[in-house]
Structure 1
Amino acid sequence: MTVGELLAATVPMAGTLKLEFLETTAERAVVRLPDQPEYHNHLGGPHAGAMFTLAETASGAVVMAAFGDQMNRAVPLAVKAEIGYKKLAMGEVTATATLGRPIAEVVAELDAGRRPEFPVRIAIQRADDAVTGEMTVVWTLRPHS
């Protein structure tokens, strides 16, 4: 099962929005929100909440790809998120998430008994590649008690 399939199966909101997982590696994830009138805002583009969910889901995909092998001892949790809407989004939009710290550095903190935090940066783009939004989600790996 791919990370995208796993997230679609375990995170109901990803399925609700019909998110499409285009690429998922330990360094980067690309997820698309199809153009769906039922999730439009008053201007006819994707609702801000749908774009937030798209970006947060892309961040979760890269976190699962990077740290899935640590799930036996820690659970990934989003700590905080900040989003900026830059341009009007219309039609389908794609979120590209990139891991903000080296995997080995995060795992070393976990090995040392700490609860590491790390940022994931996400760019949301229209089909014409214009960046419509930018988001940062800070994640942690919380050790099992």
Structure 2
Amino acid sequence: MLQSVPFARTLDISFEKVEPGFAVCRMPDRADLHNHVGGPHAGALFTLAESASGAAMLATFGDQLSRATPLAANAAIRYVKLAMGEVVAEARLQASREEVVATLDAGGRPEFDVAVDIKTADGTPVSQMTVAWTLRPNR
């Protein structure tokens, strides 16, 4: 992931667990990533969650990259509590691999969601995000 998405290195995002349909990413507490109240900036939280969603997606559909390009089509985030310190994002694919690949096989452009929960290191929920991904067939 860090080779294919270099921006994640800028935030020191680590990919702790990546498997089909699931990923866990962590972002350290760094002063240069803080907002005006001393916690991780909203943009940094967004990037952490998007990175986790991409890892879960690629772990599931990486074998399809020769015929389709993955693209984030839409994202929505809800900030529920002020985050402080290190944060962890857990991403879960919300679609069946079989259905997504079948749509691609039929010549369609599948779209599917990945839900992400962002928590502090002690497990306190701070944000929720959904990223809608698509696999654009290569021409």
**TM-score, normalised on structure 2?**
0.98
The answer for the alignment partner of 1:53 in structure 2 is: 47
For the residues of structure 2 that align with 1:114 and 1:104, how far apart are their CA atoms? 14
- Alpha-carbon separation, structure 2, partners of 1:10 and 1:109: 25
- Partners of 2:18 and 2:125 lie apart in 1 by 20
The one of 20, 24, 36 equivalent to 2:18 is 24
Deviations 1:91-125 (A, max 9, x none): 00000000010111100110011000000000000
Amino acid at match of 1:94: V
Question: Of the candidates 61, 77, 82, which is equivalent to residue 88 of structure 1?
Answer: 82
| Partners of 2:67 and 2:17 in 1: CA distance | 26
Q: Distance in 2 between matches of 1:23 and 1:128?
A: 18
Query: Identity over aligned residues, as a percent?
Result: 55
Higher helix share: 1
1:13 aligns with 2:25: no
Q: 1:141 aligns with which of 115, 135, 138?
A: 135
User: What is the count of residue pairs matched by the alignment?
Assistant: 139
Is 1:131 aligned to residue 100 of structure 2?
no
Q: TM-score, normalised by structure 1?
A: 0.94
**Runs of 5+ unmatched residues, structure 2:** none
Q: Distance in 2 between matches of 1:110 and 1:11?
A: 24
SS at match of 1:22: strand
**Gapped runs of 5+ residues in structure 1?**
1-6
Letter in 2 for 1:83: I
RMSD: 0.6
Q: How big is the shift at 1:10?
A: 2.1
